[in-house]
Amino acid sequence: MKAIDYFKLQAKNLFKDYKTQTPYSDSVLDGQLYTYNPKYFDVDGIVLDFNIDEDDFSLMNAQHVIAQLAGFSKWTEMLKASEIELELAKLLFDNQHKVSVEEWEDYITSAQLDTNIFLSPKLRLEIFKQVFANVDGHESFVQDYRLNPNSEIKAQSNQTPPVNRLISALPLKPKDRAAFVEAAEKVFETVFARLNPLHPELTRKLWNSEYYIDEVLLKQDMLPIDYDYVLSLIDASLVHHVIDLATDADLMAVNLN
């Protein structure tokens, strides 16, 4: 199923839940209220948090809510999104028990400030997979509005979340350093192939994964820092570093000629 079709289905399910609406009178509040018998979403929670007009809620309104739960401001913005952006949106929607839209945006903002790099949709997707989608133990402080997450999510919620590993001192422990160097080598190959430098041999000669980990990636004032976050920084910052190497290689080639 295409991502946009998946979100259309979610909107239809939310609208179905809304249509289970049953009115009742409350003598204390002196007015008519509504109760729901939902199957897919916590309608009461959505009504409160998304300022829903319970007397005028349409499929279009449901689409708007689903778009916001997936990280878009409105449904039309989602319709214009790229495949990569939609893939990330689906992961964000499916992992809202781990991280909310607001928490994810704060995370990305912090990463961009730390690295001074604007993270492209493709990089954001890879970071989300590595830091959240493929890592157990995260738990959002914001409500998960789904009523029936899959059984795997339910099983995870009954487990004690593992304590996040922190890097608290430099130089790195040998085991951590080796893991980061290995990760940097893999990311470098991906970035190198994507950038296709004008002078590939010179660019590759300038690359030193150990120097990158020891001298470029981490600084004392960044500590303590989460182990998984360091891995995400490698994904985020290595693009800029390889661009610098390619630029230096171009200058070297000019001087050699």
**How confident is the model at residue 201, as a pLDDT?**
94
pLDDT at 31 over 70: no
**How confident is the model at residue 162, as a pLDDT?**
44
Give the best-scoring range by mean pLDDT among 65-69, 124-128, 234-238: 65-69
pLDDT at 228 over 70: yes
Q: Which residue has the higher pLDDT, 158 or 180?
A: 180
**How confident is the model at residue 30, as a pLDDT?**
59
pLDDT at 50 over 80: yes
**DSSP letter for each residue of 64-106:** HHHHHHTT-SSHHHHHT--HHHHHHHHHHHHTTTT--HHHHHH
pLDDT tens digits, one per residue of 147-161? 987 543 444 444 444
The proportion of the chain whose per-residue pLDDT surpasses 70, expressed as a percent, equals 92
Rg (CA), the chain: 23
Strands 225-226 and 166-167: antiparallel
Q: What is the DSSP letter of 169?
A: S
What does the pLDDT average to over 95-107? 94
Q: Where are the domains of the chain?
A: 3-157, 166-256
Beta bridge partners of 41: 146
Confidence class of residue 28 from pLDDT cuts 50, 70 and 90? low
